[in-house]
Structures are given as structure tokens and as C-alpha cells.
Amino acid sequence: MRSSSNIALKATTLLTFAASTSAFWRMPCLSRSGLARLDPLVSFDSVSEHVHAIHGSSGFSSTSTTSDLLAGDCTSCEVAQDKSAYWTPALYFQNAATGEFSLVQQVGGMLSYYLLYPNAGETKVTAFPSGFQMIAGDVNQRNFSYPVPDIPKSNWNEAPYNTQAFLRQAALGFNCLNYAATPEGSLYRHFLPDKAYLDANCKDGVRFELMFPSCWNGVDKNSSDSKSHVAYPSQVMTGDCPAGFETRLISLFYETIWNTAEFAGTAGQFVLASGDSTGYGYHGDFIMGWDEDFLQNATDTCTNPSGQISDCPLFDIQTSAEYTSCNISSANIPAAIAKENVLSAISLLPGDPAIVSGGYGSGATASGSSASHVSSAPAASVPTLSYQAGSSIASDSQYVPGAVFAAKSDAILSAAGAASVTLATTSSSPAAATTPAPVVPSSPSSTQSFFSTEYQTKGQQVMEVYWVEEEVTVTALVTATATVSAPARKRHLHKHRRAGF
């Protein structure tokens, strides 16, 4: 008898969204360039208070500017001309039995959407100027004082929803992933569900979403808080810019998938590296790392509604070998954190930020250290917002990021790109109002792995094909006159789904 094991590929096709698709491109940064306590916008020339998952230029450091990023040797994003820096706090799991923290696996790096939404009556979108920097989100936020779920957008022109305070909090999303069901809409849920809900409903993890402001004062490339020079339009993604911020920039939207399903069935809690177990304090940073003229040319030229970078003739697309080998230069990692354990079996969150689950966080190490023991069933500090399928299109008939490309990827990141570049509360019980809770995976191996992604555009419909590795073992009798092999097979599983905002 002889057994042979071969890899077969199967494809899952996602058909989403028809009608009135705005121009955009989807920048895959499928590999981290670093995992470190670095943040040049908040902790300039010093060590950051918490760990960030960093993507983009190898020139990233605690003092990075656009020129530093452009001088980097490489980028972990697929387009060679994009040496921008994109970073968000990493996600950890704290085991209730041991109190120790482990980094949650990041699936497929991150995606950064460049959405081209002009102001009403205009056709031009302004590219980020050289030296441009900004932050979205508030690291210290630990509450949401507005209705859950959101009120209809038709009422967002009334107080208190017509304020930047509301729009900033509505710019966060935590998308419960279950690829067997119709996807939730982008920015549907503005908090991280508790672990009981995640275990019961989110068998493919959670997609963290972050929309950046796209209305600019037209003058300042940064501000003292990296926020005051920009503002959100009236509907977060789309809508009208407020007075004083009439210049419409590229609309930047981050998506990052974390494999929370890896810890299904294990008591504990998920917590952002900043000490936030609610998700309300999720945030992200951006430093422009393109040649300014090139980016404006791409903004004017790369308007194919497919969103594929391959449809832009200006972009030089790297191979996976090129972008996965790009790491932050070891010379840019301060000695104090060069060998810091940021991966697993950690007794304290790196930097030891206090874990704060209510009110408004202090943003600094406090007596409530991250070493605090976690009970087997932490008290609920977020409401329960049950599953709801996204609508077919956005309320304003515009493209919505997670609607078209609900990212699934073959790459799962854990240790890769580490800093040791070595170098309103309701019941907390889980609920899924419109669909049964999916089966909880018993181990990380039950989480599907995607070999590659293919996109096809038919009219105004975008199809995404996910090629999945499937192990096939064939056992056969061997004789002197016959040789049996198991050739790779390909099959398409067409799953047509529509989702929107």
C-alpha cells in the first residue's frame, strides 16, 4: 500500500455589490514590517506606551517623516511606490487561568482602501500632500454614549449625531466573521464583542475596521494632536465636509482580521495592546509615504471600479517574496525594546498599560496594571449587538469597503515582523438574531486558510475568488505495471453573497 498527500485547490467566490460603485483601490499589505512599541506621531523619539502592528516602509522609526519612509529600502505593501506607514494597536488574548498574554494571529496583514469620494458637484479628489500625517480614533475612549445600533443615517443631520464627537466613534467597526453567512456591513458594530459572543458567533475571527477623516483644512499637514487639521464628512465615509475643511482628500479605510477563533473555548479576554478590552479605544495612524505627484496622478488615473491594484497601469506590483521580506530596519529599533517579548507567555502587556474597560482611560501605566487577574467570566462592559446581514448597497449608493472585499487571506501572521526584528450595557449572553450560531472551531487548524485571491469584474459586479488549500490523501495498491498518483484538482465553490453598509 502507498499513501500520497497532495494539495488540492478549491475556490470560494464572493459576489457582492452592484450599482454605483465609486472608484477606489485596495492596497494589500499582507505582511507586517514590524511589531513594536513605536509611534512617531504620539511618542516621537521615544518608546511607545503599547505595541503596534506596523505595515509599510522599512524606514519606519520613532522619528519617521515622509522623507524617511521614502528613503526606506522596501515596503511590506504590494505596490512598490507605496512606502507609507500604516499602524494600529496589536490584539492580545489574556488567559484567565494563567493571567498571561499571547499575541492573536493576524490574518492576511492589513488592507488599506484608497476610496475616491469627491465633494458633491465636484469630480476631483486631492491626494495626500508630502509630509501629511493623521490619527483616527481615541486610545483612551472606553464608552459609547449613543444608541446601539446606530440610528438611520437620514437622522445624522440632527444633534448630537451631526458632531465630530459622534462621527469619530462611528468610524470604528468590529465585523464578526462567519464566512458561512452573509457578511455584516462595514462599521456596523463600534465595539469588540465579549468573548462569549465571539466564541458562539464569529468562527472566522473579527475584522477590525477604521475609517479616517477625509475632509482637510487645506493648509496643515499635521496638527498638535494629529487630528485637528482634518474632519469627518457628515456620514463618516461619505457626505458633506464641514466648514473650514472643504478640501476632499482620499478616503482612507483600514481592515485588519484577527484570528480570535484560535482561542475559542479557552477562558479569558481579548484586549488591545493599549489596555482596552472594549474596542472603543481602537485607533490607527498614517504617514504619507508616496511621491506626492505620483499619488495625485494615481488618484486621477486609477479610477477602475474593480479596486484591483493590477488595474492601475502606474503601479509596480511586488512579488510575495519581495513584500514578505521587508522589515523595519534593525537600526530603527531602540535598544530598550529590541529584544522585548511581544509574542506569547507575557505576564504584562508590553509597556504595562492599565486595562481599563469603562469610563475614559488614562492612557498611561496606572495602579490597575495589566497583570490584574482575569476571572473566568469577565463582567460585560460592552452591549450585545446581534448579527445583521449587510444590505446590498450603501444608503447613499456608494461603495462600502467591507461590502465588496471582505478580506480573507492565506497569510496568518503571528511572530512574523515582530520587534525582535532580530533582531449601555445589555445582556452579555451571545446571540445571533437572524441566523443560528455557527459551530465553534475546536482548534486553530479548523480556521480556513486561503492560498490566493483572484478578482473578476463583470459589469458593476465584483467577484472575489478564494483559492483554498485542501489536503487530499489517496491510498492505492501499487503493482509492477501501474503507478498511482493524486493530481491536484481545482474546483470552484460559488457562494454568491451581497453585503453593504
Closest to 126 (Cα-Cα) out of 217, 298, 247, 303:
247
The residues facing 389 across adjacent strands are 184
106 in Cβ contact with 32 (< 8 Å)? yes
For the record, the C-alpha cell of 277 comes out as: 478590552
Query: What pLDDT, on the 0 to 100 scale, is given for residue 359?
Result: 76
Query: What pLDDT, on the 0 to 100 scale, is given for residue 65?
Result: 98
Query: What pLDDT, on the 0 to 100 scale, is given for residue 423?
Result: 32
Query: What pLDDT, on the 0 to 100 scale, is given for residue 358?
Result: 80
pLDDT along the chain (501 residues), means of 10: 35 34 89 97 97 98 98 98 99 98 96 97 96 98 92 93 96 96 92 96 97 98 98 96 98 98 98 97 98 98 94 97 97 96 96 88 46 42 63 43 46 56 34 34 41 38 43 41 38 35 35
52 in Cβ contact with 91 (< 8 Å)? no
56 in Cβ contact with 289 (< 8 Å)? yes
Query: What pLDDT, on the 0 to 100 scale, is given for residue 92?
Result: 99
Please measure the distance between the N-terminal and C-terminal CA atoms of the chain and give it in whole angstroms.
Answer: 55
pTM: 0.77
Query: What pLDDT, on the 0 to 100 scale, is given for residue 280?
Result: 96
